[in-house]
Structure formats: C-alpha cells, structure tokens
Structure 1
Amino acid sequence: MTVPSSKPVSEFSDYQFGDSVGYLISRVSAKLWNMGTQRTMPELGITSAQGSVLFMVASGKCTTAAELAREYGIDASAATRLVDRLEKRGLLTRLRCSKDRRIVRLAVTPEGSAIAEQMPAIFAGVREQLLSGFTPEEVGFLKSMLRRALINGGG
C-alpha cells in the first residue's frame, strides 16, 4: 500500500484562512443567528432559527418543509426536525392538501403568529447592533454585494 504524498506545510501556512471571504461570511452568519438567539430565547423561549421559520411561514414565503429547506440551504431532514419542534410547541401545524394528499402545507397557530410578528423588530435590533458604525451607504453597498454574490451562485 502506498502512502499518499502530502503537500509541504508551507503551502498550507501561506493561506490566510481568516481572510477568506467564505470564512468571513460564514462567521457573520453564525454571529447573526447567535445574537438573534440571545434575544429570542429569553424573550420568546425559541431559537432565532425557529423564529425565522415562523416568520417565513406566517409571511407566506415558505409554505412547506421543502421550501424551508431550500430557503435555508439545509437538508430536508433538518427542516423536518425544525417543523417537528415548532409543531410540538403548538406554534405551527401541518395541513395536508385536499387536492394533492402528498403535499403538506405549514401554517402558524395564533401563538406562532404572535411570535412571528415580533421577529422583524428582533432581527432589526440584531442588525443594528452588528452593523453599528456602518453608514447607511455602507450597509446598502454590503447588501448590494451580497445580492450579487447570491445571483452569481445561482440564486
């Protein structure tokens, strides 16, 4: 059996991982979710991801678990687990479509709707904290660049 050749360590040490655009975007995304959860957990008893799902369903942006999976870039089983937790808490319900029994639509309960209505203010507070010191022009430019990156990535 042959041992695969390894690259010299210097090639790896020359790469500045902390300056990688992907790494920085990933860290900012994680920070947004964590900061959101620091607000939603004590105030609402849910994670920011759960609050975001409630908002997406309540607003009509996502009406099935498959749409949630696509929107959040997670696998179907992870979306199903999120829906399961919200349904168990009485914040979300599953409704089988009468025209096509294979389709299961999601709907927020009155309690879920009350939480969903609070999410924009919470997300705005997190955004303001995270982007403190940015000018409105810088925020606009950042959003524009992120939208272009999404388009370049196919959506």
Structure 2
Amino acid sequence: MGTESRLTKGRAAIDDGLRGVGAKDQTIAYLVREAHRALSADLQARIAQYGVNAGMWRFLRVLWEEDAISQRDLSDRVGMTAATTVLALDRMEREALVLRVRDGKDRRVARVHLTAKGRRLREKLLPHAAEVDAVACTGLAPAEVALLKTLLTRMRVNVGTYGALAQRKPAAPRRRRPPAG
C-alpha cells in the first residue's frame, strides 16, 4: 500500500473514530488522556518481548540519561510514589536491569545503577518508542509535529504553574506530641 493510500485510510479511521465521540469528550484533558492510553498500549505491545513493562520503561528512560541517581530523585523524576518506585526497582533488580547501592557519603541514600543488561536495552527499546511516535504522527507535517510538542510542553508547564495542585498551600508541619508518661 502506498503512502498516499495509507494516509487516506488513516484519515478515514480518524474521522470514523471522531464520529462516536461526544462533545463532552472533546476536552483537551480527555483527548490527551486517550492519546496517552493509545500510545502507551502501542509501546507496551512493542517492548513486552524484552520483559519490560510501561512502569519499568519510565525508570529506564531516566537512568539512561543519568545513571547512579538516588532512588528518591528517580521517583521524583518519573512522577511515581516512593512505594511504587520500590516495587518497580525490586522487579528490575530481579530482572538484573538495575542494582541499588548505598551511597558512600550518606548510608540513608540508595543510588540506582543500571547493569550492563539495563544499558543494552537502550538500543533495543528506543527504536520502538520512535516507531510509536512515527505511527502517532502519520499524516502530520514536520512543522505540525514541532508545534504539537511545543503546545504540549507549554500546557504541562501551565498546569504545573497555575493548576490546582500548584495553587495549594503547603501543609503546616505536624506538631509532635510530648511523650506519654
């Protein structure tokens, strides 16, 4: 099938998909969520053959950019709770993808190191992520893709700056009760 034929077929599928979407489902949040779900499902289907799930993927992406990061910083960068991070890293250690090592200067800090196996996955998995992006951007001009990235980044910053969570006042420190007795 030629490129033009695939584009025509793709546009028809988009039109068919939009026919079933009600006006209330046209909010930006809904559309972004549905796009994220579709992208995540496609990526998961592609990387499952390597024993990697979507949660592990997020941690690997950060570690490929900065190895030996503290477990807390890794959790913050991925946007996961500490408990979720522990569970994911436990599995990644069992799969020999990472190793947690106590920091030599501060034993309270655990640093997460990629193993050779974890580093090798980069060359195997990143092409799959690029394929997912390519499929998602089928029919979009390069300028449209660049604009989409700019707009999504701006929206993320806006929500982080002006959204409800950003506007919440930090909780007051808890007062300690005096010991009983």
TM-score bracket, normalised by the shorter chain, equals 0.7 to 0.9
Q: Does 1:86 align with 2:96?
A: no
Match of 1:113 in 2: 119
Match of 1:47 in 2: 53
Match of 2:132 in 1: 126
Change beyond 3 A, Cα 1:39–1:29: same
* TM value normalised by structure 2: 0.70
- Per the alignment, in what secondary structure is the counterpart of residue 98 of structure 1? coil
Residue segments in structure 2 that go unaligned for 5+ positions in a row = 1-21, 162-181
1:25 partner letter: V
Match of 1:141 in 2: 147
Task: Choose from 16, 21, 37 the match for 2:44.
Answer: 37
- Which is further off, 110-119 or 69-78? 69-78
Task: Choose from 11, 16, 31 the match for 1:24.
Answer: 31
* Percentage identity across paired residues of the two chains: 25
CA contact (8 A) 1:93 1:107 kept: yes
- Per the alignment, in what secondary structure is the counterpart of residue 100 of structure 1? coil
2:149 partner letter: K
1:117 partner letter: E
Change beyond 3 A, Cα 1:62–1:34: farther
Q: CA RMSD in A?
A: 2.0
Match of 1:154 in 2: 160
Match of 1:95 in 2: 101
Q: CA offset at residue 58 of structure 1?
A: 2.4
Give the whole-Å Cα distance in 2 for the aligned partners of 1:25 and 1:62: 32
2:38 partner letter: K
Deviations 1:15-34 (A, max 9, x none): 94311111111111122211
CA contact (8 A) 1:56 1:62 kept: no
Deviations 1:37-58 (A, max 9, x none): 100012x121133133223112
- Which is further off, 67-76 or 108-117? 67-76
Change beyond 3 A, Cα 1:63–1:117: farther
CA contact (8 A) 2:99 2:115 kept: yes
The number of residue pairs the alignment matches comes to 140
Give the whole-Å Cα distance in 2 for the aligned partners of 1:127 and 1:62: 28
Q: Does 1:104 align with 2:110?
A: yes
Give the whole-Å Cα distance in 2 for the aligned partners of 1:63 and 1:114: 18
Q: CA offset at residue 61 of structure 1?
A: 7.2
Match of 1:12 in 2: none
CA contact (8 A) 1:55 1:117 kept: no
- Which is further off, 110-119 or 81-90? 110-119
Residue segments in structure 1 that go unaligned for 5+ positions in a row = 1-14
